[in-house]
């Protein structure tokens, strides 16, 4: 039996969701613990199985978890990782450790409670888009004293007040955008920094977030902080840190 006293094991493989759907990869028939991720690197669900290939295919066909099933149906999954385990007992131990660990706690592993409305508050809710073809949204990070800024989204077209949304809505906004300009900053409005992600950069951040065991937002912040300290071309953003 392996030991988890000192540190967690590294995942054996990261597999993108589209590769699972197109059968580009063949999952092994092994005992394992697996983790589903959304497009912000948030761990959605941690599970264990004695046959990884069979279990993941079951999830893809009809997951027993209704929230995960909705994410799979609506193509909201970014990737999965898995940890190979020698025995079923190892898998049980590792699953419990990952669920309790702050880096892997799955939002869909939360125990169900009686009040349905309260359940929806604890889990990510669906974002009902107001259809308007020319609608564009900015991601705005308020300049607070928090180490990692809270993400807010406002409409550029209409004069809405900034409203805080879940990272799930931010994820959907990123996926739905057709243009990904660079970072924008308006010096006349020092309360906000506008951040829009390039799709290639976003993929890199996902992999870094898994490696660093943090969210994509925190990974982006670490990179931004490093860039501000080492790149003279963007020294003007130093007040954002």
Q: Is 6 within a domain?
A: no
Name the residue with higher pLDDT: 177 or 80: 80
One-character DSSP codes across 21-55:
HTT-S------EEEEEEETTS-EEEEEEES-HHHH
pLDDT (tens digit per residue) in 185-197:
344 444 444 445 5
- Asked whether residue 115 falls in the same domain as residue 157, the answer is no
Q: Is 62 within a domain?
A: yes
Q: Is 127 within a domain?
A: no
Specify the pTM. 0.46
- Distance set, CA 238 to CA 39, 143, 151, 227 (Å): 28, 12, 19, 10
Q: Which of 122, 154, 175 is the last residue of a domain?
A: 122
- Asked whether residue 150 falls in the same domain as residue 229, the answer is yes
Q: Which two tokens stand for residue 6?
A: 């000192």
CATH number at residue 29: 3.40.1440.10
pLDDT (tens digit per residue) in 113-163:
333 343 333 333 333 333 333 334 444 444 344 443 334 434 333 333 333
Q: Is 167 within a domain?
A: yes
Q: Which of 122, 155, 180 is the last residue of a domain?
A: 122
- Asked whether residue 32 falls in the same domain as residue 97, the answer is yes
Burial 108-123 (b: 16+ CB within 10 A, else e): bbeeeeeeeeeeeeeb
Q: What's the CA angle centered on 151, arms 207 and 226, to 5 degrees?
A: 50
Number of domains forming the structure of the chain? 2
- Asked whether residue 185 falls in the same domain as residue 221, the answer is yes
**Does 240 have pLDDT greater than 90?**
no
- Asked whether residue 148 falls in the same domain as residue 210, the answer is yes
Domain region containing 48: 13-122
């Amino acid at each position: 039996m392996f030991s988890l006293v000192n540190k967690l094991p590294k995942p054996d493989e990261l597999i993108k969701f589209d590769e699972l759907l197109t059968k580009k990869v063949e999952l092994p028939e092994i005992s394992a613990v697996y983790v589903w991720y959304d497009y912000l690197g948030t761990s959605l669900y941690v599970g264990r199985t004695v046959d990884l290939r069979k279990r993941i295919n079951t999830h893809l066909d009809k997951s027993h978890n209704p929230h995960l099933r909705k994410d799979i149906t609506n193509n909201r999954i970014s990737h999965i990782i898995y940890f190979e385990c020698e025995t079923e007992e190892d898998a049980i131990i590792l699953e419990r450790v990952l669920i309790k660990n702050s880096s892997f706690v799955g939002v869909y592993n939360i125990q169900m409670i009686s009040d349905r409305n309260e359940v929806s508050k604890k889990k990510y809710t669906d974002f009902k888009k107001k259809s308007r073809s020319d609608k564009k949204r900015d991601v705005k990070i308020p300049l607070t004293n928090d180490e990692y800024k809270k993400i807010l989204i406002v409409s550029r077209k209409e004069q809405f007040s900034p409203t805080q949304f879940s990272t799930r809505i931010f994820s959907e906004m990123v996926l739905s955008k057709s243009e990904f300009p660079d970072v924008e900053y308006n010096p006349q409005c020092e309360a906000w920094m506008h951040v829009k992600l390039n799709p290639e950069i976003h993929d890199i951040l996902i992999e870094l977030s898994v490696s660093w065991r943090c969210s994509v937002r925190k990974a982006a912040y670490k990179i931004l902080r490093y860039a501000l300290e080492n790149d003279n071309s963007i020294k003007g953003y130093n007040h954002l840190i």
